[in-house]
Amino acid sequence: MATFNSDKAAEIHRHLHSHLPSDPALRVKALESLVVERGLVASETIDRWVEAYAEHIGPKRGARVVARSWLDAGFRARLLENAAEAIKEFGFEGSATGHLRAVENTSDTHNMVVCTLCSCYPFSVLGMSPAWYKSSAYRARAVREPRSVLSEFGVDLGPDIAVRVWDSTAELRYIVIPQRPEGTDGWDEDALAAIVTRNSMIGTDRDLKAEAV
């Protein structure tokens, strides 16, 4: 006759669940399976969209905007005056960038972006937002103790550098224009765009590396 060991059952339960994806991942997978099963979308289409936002629509678009601003003073001025209009020159406009604002880092100012209420993000130019950007810890601490948060990202700022934190909303989103690193004279737009990081356009990265690509 079989016996039931509650402690053993609990141990097996914990073991099984420790190997399951997170709740959000499970919900996304369940939703994807449902829409594919009902013929609303093909799984290949979902894969192509994920690839597009991760590799093409993603940070590479924002990097091109930054690189152009480093090379073209006229474009830089237009970008800082009205970023939503300026990026139309690339054809990147969309609902996520309809009210985009660009803020630039300087030798004495560092900008950092957060969305304290949810996770509003200009995905049309920066792609999918990183998990930490959506976390409650980042959203709360970026406002209260930005220097400490930046330090955890490896950005240690001296007291002579002011930190400005910009709170995104559904109506106003931000892109940080990092400083162009020294040693990039003569580089073309493609080479410059290749060294621009996603985090530098959020403000959790500051000193870009002038490494030839």
Tens of each residue's pLDDT in the chain, 213 residues: 445 455 655 555 455 445 545 566 677 778 778 888 888 888 888 777 666 665 556 688 999 999 999 999 999 999 999 999 999 999 876 666 778 999 999 999 999 999 999 889 998 889 888 889 999 999 999 999 999 999 999 999 999 999 999 999 988 999 999 999 999 999 999 999 999 999 999 999 999 999 755
Boundary of a domain, candidates 56, 72, 103: 56
DSSP 65-101: HHHHHHH-HHHHHHHHH-HHHHGGGTT---GGGTTEE
- What domain range is 192 assigned to? 60-202
CA distances from 49 to 29, 34, 99, 192 (A): 15, 17, 24, 26
Which of these, 169, 172, 107, 166, lies nearest to 142 by C-alpha position? 166
Q: What is the CATH number of the domain that holds 92?
A: 3.90.330.10
pLDDT at 98: 72
- Catalytic, 118? Answer yes
Of 22, 69, 95, 120, which is the active-site residue?
Answer: 120
Active site residue 115: yes
Query: What distances in angstroms separate CA 104 from CA 51, 83, 212, one per listed residue?
Result: 29, 12, 23
pTM above 0.85, yes or no: no
Angle at 186 between CA 180 and CA 188, to 5 degrees: 80
Q: Are residues 86 and 169 in the same domain?
A: yes
In a shared domain, residues 120 and 186: yes
- Catalytic residue, chosen from 115, 124, 168, 200, is 115
107 labelled catalytic:
no
Residue 120 and residue 133: Cα distance in Å, rounded?
Answer: 9
Q: Which of 33, 43, 118, 135 is the catalytic position?
A: 118
The answer to whether residue 209 sits within a structural domain is no
Q: Is 69 a catalytic residue?
A: no
